[in-house]
Amino acid sequence: MASFFPRTAFRTLSALPKAAPWAKTPITAPLAQPLARRFIGSLPREQPRLRLGSTAPNFEAVTTQGQIDFHKWMDGCWTILFSHPADFTPVCTTELGAFAKLKGEFAKRGVKMIGLSANDLGSHGDWIKDINEVTGSDVQFPIIADADRKVAWLYDMIDESELANLAEKGIAFTIRSVFIIDPAKKIRLVMSYPASTGRNTAEVLRVIDSLQTADKKGIATPIDWQVGDDVIVPPSVSTEDAKKKFGEVRELKPYLRYTKY
């Protein structure tokens, strides 16, 4: 994983705030125990089971737009929560710029976006300037400052190999994860990516369209579906009822039926 981050990123990641979140004394004072132990001690003993359909865990955090309570911040909207390994890293920079450019598209669908990166707030501010300059974007959504990895741990955004080597590395990297959460605060989609692979914003938008259409129309969407394409009649709906609801139904197999919506 290290090969995907510039040296500046490691300096940024390893540079802790003057008063570390888990320490009562400045970082210059001797630590009472190794960093790895302090990191492990600050984490919850058990992670929530983040199954599809489960309630997204709530948390309070500092962001580039102030302190938030996540559930209150969602305010009954569809929400995308996406994480990043570190500020000033190349792949993350391209991703945040791309998401920022789609702000209007997500807004049309009533979707709020919030990012997370495992650095402190001051680092985030400088990084946003770089993102806007390099990608020609205007990042307006908040970015969570998660230097202590508490939110990353809560949402299982930690690579297993990082945990296995925690004693040696001191603190784990945050992986690239995407959570789509509906207005009822239920997790509807989870995607995790390796450090070397940037995400596809068009796919995230496509999934939002699919979920919202399915919820509203009571249908399913086939592979590579885009808005305007035919949709699938769920097996739970009879062909007779589907014709009453949608009109024409095209049957390829008794279990595979297409219609327009």
Cβ density class 104-126: b for 16+ within 10 Å, e for less = eebeeeebbbbbbbbbbeebbee
CA 261 vs. chain centroid, Å, equals 30
Helices (H), the chain: 7-14, 35-41, 70-74, 90-101, 103-108, 121-135, 150-154, 160-164, 166-169, 201-217, 239-246
105, 107, 170, 203, 244 from 95: Cα distances, Å: 16, 18, 27, 13, 44
3-state secondary structure of 180: strand
Residues 43 and 149: beta-carbon distance below 8 Å: yes
Token pair, residue 182, equals 């509906």
Is 77 among the residues known to form the active site?
Answer: no
Given the residues 81, 92, 128, 208, select the one marked as catalytic: 92
Residues 236 and 222: beta-carbon distance below 8 Å: no
Rounded to whole angstroms, how far apart are CA atoms 148 and 116? 12
In single-letter form, the type of residue at position 144 comes to I
Catalytically annotated residues:
92
